[in-house]
Structure 1
Amino acid sequence: MRALHILGNKNKEIRNKIFLLAWPVILTNLLNTLTVTVDMIMVGRLGPVAIASVGLGSQVVFISFAVMIAVSAGTVALVARYIGAKENKMAGYVLQQSLILGAILSIPLMLIGLFFSDDILSLLGAECGVVTTGAVYIKIVFLASIFTFTNFLSAAALRGAGDTKTPLYVSGIVSVVNIMLNYMLIFGKFGFPALGVKGAAIGTALSFVVGTVVYIIIFLKGKTVLNLFSNGRIFELETIRRIMRIGTPAATEQIAIQIGFIIYVMIVIIFGTNALAAHQIGMRIQSLSFMPGFGFAMASAALVGQNLGAKKIKEAEQSGWQSMQLCVMTMVAISAVLFIIARPVACIFVDDAETVNLSVIWIRILAVGIPAIGIYFTIAGALRGAGDTRWPLYASVIGVYGCRLPLALLLGFYAGLGLYGVWIAMTVEYYIRSILVVYRFKSGKWKHIKV
């Protein structure tokens, strides 16, 4: 009985740590989503060409996130491991090296944005007006790549160290500055010129500059456990190699998922404009429902990494399983609510009856898969926190290319289920992906990975 009591207290302690780490990440993601939504509403006032330019331009910019994900995944794993081992100085050194690496990698991105943005948009099939306006947006945003990297990597390192509140505060400042500058520069308010889409790009870029300044001030004042200005060589190849060795599979995973997503959407397009519209509505709802999953995934990664660094192997494993349980309970609740209110939610986005009916079915199919993606997020997060970034890559590639796409064709066209079959394939794939990462985590092989 005493052993059970001690175990119960230990689990409660772990759950409390998970919640403390997760809720700021959830709020940060919601804040970022709200900011993007407000920006799109403002740009939407300029007309369809403007909103298409910013929308397509943002997709191009998002591709660069794969580079940031590579660096951040390695940073989180190493920082968490060093913090757990009480080697705070080395954790700060990892942050320093990741920022230097981010600055180096931002240079080719800036050059690509400056010289090839028109060509990229043309290859995507954009109309002439969208190419011209969208290229301006991409060039300005890519010029600020070094500041975007600094924000992204600083937040990742702090979360790996167990500090999820500081990134929330900085994100709040960045979001407020972004919205204010965009309002002034898009519409020409308070004496500023009305720059339209160009103003939206400048506002976004400057907000990341402000975020960078805030992070530097925080690090200079020693307000966090990480010391950015640790002693050591300015450029240390071995640390950078370790960051990229851990992070490259995570970046590859994201690229593979994005390519698979494009192919999947091409299948949906076959069923017509209403089907595509319904699909986009469902995906927007899904992205919002994923927010808790991101929070629990980050908590899982940080706690697993820290416990491994502290040689607390059992606590590391418990952190992963407890994160999964809490996330699944949250996602099941969200899933149930979405299933019930699918029609009112769909009606918010569109008036067309056919599109609404399709959206309702799609939202309900997605709702069935939301708990599975919660499992994937948290267990994949645990594996990444341990430095095992290859297995989530394998699970995603097998899931998307071995299940989702073939099953979409099989159910949609050969089984005669049409669009519904295509959508069902995506939900099935979520469960396949979650089973694969759970299998890996249960095997315990991640416990012995050297970072």
Structure 2
Amino acid sequence: MTQAKKMTLFALTWPIFIEVLLHMLMGNADTLMLSQYSDDAVAAVGVSNQILSVVIVMFGFVATGAAILVAQNLGAGQKKEAGSISVTSISVNLWFSLLLSFGLFIFSEQILNVMDLPSSLMGDAMDYMNIVGGLIFVQAMLMTIGALLRSYGHTKDPMYVTIGMNILNVIGNYFVIFGPFGLPVFGVEGVAYVTAISRASGFLVLLLLMIKRVSGNLPWRSFYHYEKAHLKNLLHIGVPSAGEQLSYNASQMAITYFVAQMGATAITTKVYAQNLMMFIFLCSIAIGQGTQILIGHHIGAKETEKAYRQCIRSLQLAIVISLSVAIVFYFSSDFLLGLFTDDPAILTTGGLLLLLTVLLEPGRAFNLVVINSLRAAGDVRFPVIVGILSMWGIQVTIAWIFGIHYAYGLIGIWIGFIIDEWLRGILMLRRWKSRIWLKKSFVMPNKKAHSQANTS
């Protein structure tokens, strides 16, 4: 019996859903609590986090590759290989992230100067960058070990750790920002230390859980002695995936530049609408990640027909849920947007954007589920090539044509989003149905079984 048979999509998905939701909330906690302290502090931390988010994407390439390789090898019953890949991925991301952490600490002022930050914000921004950026390697370890535990089927562990990190972060922020019981107020510097401490605590707990769950199959020799095939496969999967994510971030920055030309109201409306949209596609993210784990196990076990059907079932589920939630959000748009603002212009335009989101989110579900399925099967390059071409050739181009050239504003921007998501989604589904991914598995032949076959 393969490990995939012991897992269900629901059992994998609901902890991932909670974990991703909590990461979203934790990412906003510093900003929300700092807004009660100083608007300048919010701006300084916001700019710093924008830089750090790009760095965090670069850590994801090892975590993504490791998650897929471990799932495939576990499905094939090769626990030692899976353990070796796990230890290698932890080692590679540790050294890589330490190098980036050192660079962020040494060159924080130069990096912030590139962002043309006002001098009034520079002090707080540098404090945050030096502390959170200088310890960003802890986030890399969190991502890597969390991804590995999920591939082993332990999706609840990262969820519980994330809950603990959120609680620690909020309590710590309260003490350093508001200074209860006569304690000194530390502002941005205090928030930075709290963020670093909560992440470090989460990392230590996850590491102990990893050792406890998989201790018998973790060859720590692989921490300093890499197998060439493992390293090659990690890079083969991870680098294109990271490139796609960096391209996506860059395309969103280009679109934000377009929106900035429309004025402050347009920027604010876009922020509010996209904040609400994150909660709509959260289910698709969780389903996509859970499906990736299941399909990785099925591919490793050579259960290709089960892998094929799992993707289709997951896609159908994600479309139904995202469409349903998008419809509910649209009919609740006045209430939801009213939580942020009472500006009639924002409420009207934001309501139209949420209506267009009813068309957008099912298309996004295609990409979040099918792309993860293709990656899990080892087909990593096609989604990247199509993604980059569509992001820039379709999304950014159409957003400029309709949003700026024809002056449809944010409606034109959303038209670009919709066409891009649906075009990519349809192409990804055609790729999945073509079954080209059947030839892309990264599982190494079982050396022991192979030698026994030769002997017999």
TM-score (normalizing by structure 1): 0.92
Name the structure 1 match of 2:382.
391
Q: Is 1:147–1:208's contact at 8 Å kept on the other side of the alignment?
A: yes
Could you say if the C-alpha distance between residues 328 and 419 of structure 1 is closer, same or farther in structure 2, counting changes exceeding 3 Å?
closer
Give the CA deviation at 1:294: 1.2
Give the CA deviation at 1:161: 2.1
State the distance in 2 between where 1:162 and 1:248 align: 24
Q: How many residues align?
A: 438
Q: Which region of structure 1 is more displaced relative to structure 2, 207-216 or 406-415? A: 406-415
Name the amino acid aligned to 2:188: V
Could you say if the C-alpha distance between residues 231 and 124 of structure 1 is closer, same or farther in structure 2, counting changes exceeding 3 Å?
closer
Could you say if the C-alpha distance between residues 39 and 233 of structure 1 is closer, same or farther in structure 2, counting changes exceeding 3 Å?
closer
Name the structure 2 match of 1:26.
17
Of 345, 370, 375, the match for 1:379: 370
Q: Is 1:219–1:226's contact at 8 Å kept on the other side of the alignment?
A: no
Name the amino acid aligned to 1:129: S
Deviations 1:74-131 (A, max 9, x none): 0111000111011122212211111101111112211221122222222222211222
| Runs (5+) with no aligned partner, structure 2 | 443-456
Name the structure 1 match of 2:418.
427
Name the structure 2 match of 1:217.
208
Instruction: Find the residue that maps to 2:107 and give its secondary structure.
Output: helix
Alignment of 1:250-265 (within 5 A): 250-265=241-256
Q: Is 2:88–2:223's contact at 8 Å kept on the other side of the alignment?
A: no
State the distance in 1 between where 2:318 and 2:310 align: 12
State the distance in 2 between where 1:230 and 1:386 align: 27
Instruction: Find the residue that maps to 1:223 and give its secondary structure.
Output: helix
State the distance in 2 between where 1:90 and 1:237 align: 10
Q: Is 1:170–1:215's contact at 8 Å kept on the other side of the alignment?
A: yes
Could you say if the C-alpha distance between residues 14 and 441 of structure 1 is closer, same or farther in structure 2, counting changes exceeding 3 Å?
farther
Name the structure 2 match of 1:367.
358
- The answer to whether structure 1 residue 447 and structure 2 residue 434 are counterparts is no
Deviations 1:241-271 (A, max 9, x none): 3211210011000110011101111111121
Q: Is 1:70–1:247's contact at 8 Å kept on the other side of the alignment?
A: yes
Give the CA deviation at 1:237: 4.7
Name the structure 2 match of 1:6.
none
Alignment of 1:338-349 (within 5 A): 338-349=329-340
Alignment of 1:126-205 (within 5 A): 126-189=117-180, 193-205=184-196
State the distance in 1 between where 2:332 and 2:297 align: 40
Name the structure 1 match of 2:392.
401
Q: Which region of structure 1 is more displaced relative to structure 2, 309-318 or 173-182? A: 173-182
Instruction: Find the residue that maps to 1:166 and give its secondary structure.
Output: helix
User: Percent identity between the aligned chains?
Assistant: 25
Name the structure 2 match of 1:249.
240
* Aligned-residue RMSD, C-alpha: 2.0
TM-score (normalizing by structure 2): 0.91
State the distance in 1 between where 2:224 and 2:180 align: 43
Q: Which region of structure 1 is more displaced relative to structure 2, 324-333 or 363-372? A: 363-372
Name the structure 2 match of 1:65.
56
Instruction: Find the residue that maps to 1:439 and give its secondary structure.
Output: helix
Q: Is 1:30–1:291's contact at 8 Å kept on the other side of the alignment?
A: yes
Deviations 1:183-217 (A, max 9, x none): 22233346754211111111111111111211222
State the distance in 1 between where 2:363 and 2:151 align: 24
Name the amino acid aligned to 2:213: K
Name the amino acid aligned to 2:172: L
Alignment of 1:61-100 (within 5 A): 61-100=52-91
Name the amino acid aligned to 1:52: A
Deviations 1:396-442 (A, max 9, x none): 21221111111122223444534422222112211112112112211
Q: Is 1:50–1:197's contact at 8 Å kept on the other side of the alignment?
A: yes
| Runs (5+) with no aligned partner, structure 1 | 1-12
State the distance in 2 between where 1:227 and 1:46 align: 48
Name the structure 1 match of 2:292.
301
Of 107, 111, 115, the match for 2:98: 107
Name the amino acid aligned to 2:356: I
Instruction: Find the residue that maps to 1:126 and give its secondary structure.
Output: coil
Deviations 1:41-81 (A, max 9, x none): 21111111000111111111101122221011101110001
Alignment of 1:300-339 (within 5 A): 300-339=291-330
Name the amino acid aligned to 2:134: L
Q: Is 1:158–1:226's contact at 8 Å kept on the other side of the alignment?
A: no
